[in-house]
């Protein structure tokens, strides 16, 4: 007996079958398995080759199934941005959590306290005496010990102590709080703005190293395996190289935290990856874009213009999406049609204005267009379900997110 409509919904299955080009309600966010598997292995191998652990930033996808693929590939843990994100990851079996932000507010502290009580291995970040005092009081009252990392920032940047002296002073403050355990140093090089970013990101990485060494020399780090962690998805090669050059492995566990690498993109991180490969020509092949959004042409109201059912609610738009390929509805994955000269000029909530070349190749209402986007975080958070597909565009898994 076929499944009832409610059973299909409960299973998270596509509407009438598994063929993306025929059975799935569009628009839909799509992850291609081949580049996904490549990226998983590529970044894990990169971290291993540099003597570092990988704690991918889970805020990119907030997809537990993808967290588990990263862990199965060798990741040390998962990085998150907020206490509720940590709670969601732990609820789906992720037990080592690195919250790369300050833990502020008793409601958030209560979430983390419950996670630690339930067995989570948790680290968060501090950069002020006020926050250290707040955390010390709260976790002492709960009878718990909280591992913390001191954040080193930059002048004019986001959070973080601004210099080594401030890091050491804060470490001494942490030492005075019995409920806190100083577990190392954290930073984020993505806030470095410079005309010579390669030079200045490396300089920031060395500042991290020197501050960590100062804490170690003064005996201020209590954790048995102290961490030094940085790295987003643009400059991970520079951070890993400095950590390796500094020979930190004997005293610290170097942890890299890129997140967008998993599905890569067609914009910001594509350009960043080109920079990585120029700096490191020894790295083979590089990352590949795995995330696309498929949508249909809904109107051809005048010559040279197509309206596609894709908007700001469906895809990241810090830069306009890029048309990649076109298919007939019900067509075959191995017979894509051209989109040469197609260009999005305007994006509304749920419509894209696409200019067409003078003689578009037989475009029809109902045609399906695959779009690439920049900055995958800003596409993932628009979806509660994404389709993982094989090379035939058959849906092999429906991935749920926890935003």
Residue ranges of domains in the chain: 5-30+287-400, 57-258
d(CA 343, CA 328): 19
Confidence at residue 8, expressed as pLDDT on a 0 to 100 scale: 40
Give me the CATH code for the 57-258 domain, please. Answer: 3.20.20.10
CA distance 314 to 293: 8
> pTM of the full predicted structure?
0.94
What's the confidence (pLDDT) of residue 121?
Answer: 98
Other beta carbons within 10 Å of 364: 14
Considering the segment(s) 5-30+287-400 as one domain, its CATH architecture is Beta Barrel (2.40)
Task: Measure the CA–CA gap between 104 and 126, rounded to whole angstroms.
Answer: 9
First to last CA, the chain: 35
Residue pair 186/223 in contact by the 8 Å Cβ criterion: no
pLDDT at 251: 87
Residues 9-47 as b/e (b if ≥16 CB within 10 A, e otherwise) read: eeeebbeeebbbbbebebbbbbbbeebbebbbebbbebb
| Residue 351 near residue 321, CB atoms below 8 Å | no
Which residues pair with residue 228 across a beta bridge?
A: 185, 254
- List the one residue out of 165, 114, 171, 166 whose CA is nearest residue 148: 171
Q: Spell out the per-residue pLDDT of the chain, length 403, in tens.
A: 445 444 444 555 556 689 999 999 999 999 999 999 999 999 999 999 999 999 999 999 999 999 999 999 999 999 999 999 999 999 999 999 999 999 999 999 999 999 999 999 999 999 999 999 999 999 999 999 999 999 999 999 999 999 999 999 999 999 999 999 999 999 999 999 999 999 999 999 999 999 999 999 999 999 999 999 999 999 999 999 999 999 987 789 999 999 999 999 999 999 999 999 999 999 988 999 999 999 999 999 999 999 999 999 999 999 999 999 999 999 999 999 999 999 999 999 999 999 999 887 799 999 999 999 999 999 999 999 999 999 999 999 999 999 9
Angstrom distance (rounded) from CA 125 to CA 30? 34
Q: Output the pLDDT for position 16.
A: 66
| Sign of the alpha-carbon dihedral angle for 133, 135, 140, 145 | negative
Nearest Cα to Cα of residue 170 among 196, 148, 188, 189: 148
Q: What pLDDT, on a 0 to 100 scale, did the predictor assign at position 371?
A: 98
């Amino acid at each position: 007996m076929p499944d009832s409509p409610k059973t299909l919904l409960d299973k998270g299955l596509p509407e009438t079958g598994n063929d993306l080009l025929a059975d799935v309600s569009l628009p839909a966010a799509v992850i291609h398995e081949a580049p996904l598997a490549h990226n998983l292995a590529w970044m894990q191998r990169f971290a291993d080759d540099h003597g570092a652990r990988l704690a991918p930033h889970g805020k990119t996808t907030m997809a537990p199934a993808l967290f588990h693929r990263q862990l199965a590939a060798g990741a040390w843990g998962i990085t998150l941005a907020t206490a509720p994100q940590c709670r969601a990851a732990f609820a789906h079996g992720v037990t080592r959590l690195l919250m790369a932000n300050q833990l502020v507010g008793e409601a958030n502290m209560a979430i983390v306290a419950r996670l630690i009580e339930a067995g989570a291995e948790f680290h968060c970040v501090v950069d002020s005496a006020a926050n250290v005092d707040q955390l010390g009081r709260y976790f002492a009252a709960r009878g718990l010990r909280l591992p913390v990392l001191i954040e080193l920032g930059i002048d004019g940047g986001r959070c973080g102590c601004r210099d080594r002296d401030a890091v050491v002073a804060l470490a001494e403050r942490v030492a005075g709080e019995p409920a806190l355990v100083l577990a190392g140093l954290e930073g984020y090089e993505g806030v470095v703005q410079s005309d010579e970013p390669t030079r200045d990101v490396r300089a920031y990485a060395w500042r991290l190293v020197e501050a960590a060494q100062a804490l170690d020399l003064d005996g201020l780090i209590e954790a048995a395996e102290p961490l030094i962690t940085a790295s987003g998805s643009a400059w991970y090669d520079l951070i890993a190289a400095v950590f390796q050059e500094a020979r930190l492995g004997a005293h610290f566990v170097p942890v890299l935290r890129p997140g967008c690498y998993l599905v890569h993109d067609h914009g910001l991180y594509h350009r960043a990856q080109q920079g990585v490969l120029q700096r490191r020509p020894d790295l083979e092949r590089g990352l590949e874009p795995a995330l696309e959004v498929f949508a249909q042409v809904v109107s051809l109201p005048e010559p040279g213009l197509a309206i596609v059912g894709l908007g700001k609610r469906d895809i990241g738009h810090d830069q306009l999406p890029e048309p990649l390929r076109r298919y007939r509805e019900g067509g075959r994955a191995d017979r894509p049609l051209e989109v040469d000269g197609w260009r999005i000029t305007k994006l509304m909530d749920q419509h894209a204005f696409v200019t067409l070349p003078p003689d578009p190749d037989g475009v029809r209402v109902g045609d399906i267009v695959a779009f690439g986007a920049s900055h995958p975080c800003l596409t993932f958070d628009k979806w509660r379900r994404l389709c993982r597909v094989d090379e035939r565009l058959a849906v092999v898994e429906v991935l749920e997110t926890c935003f």
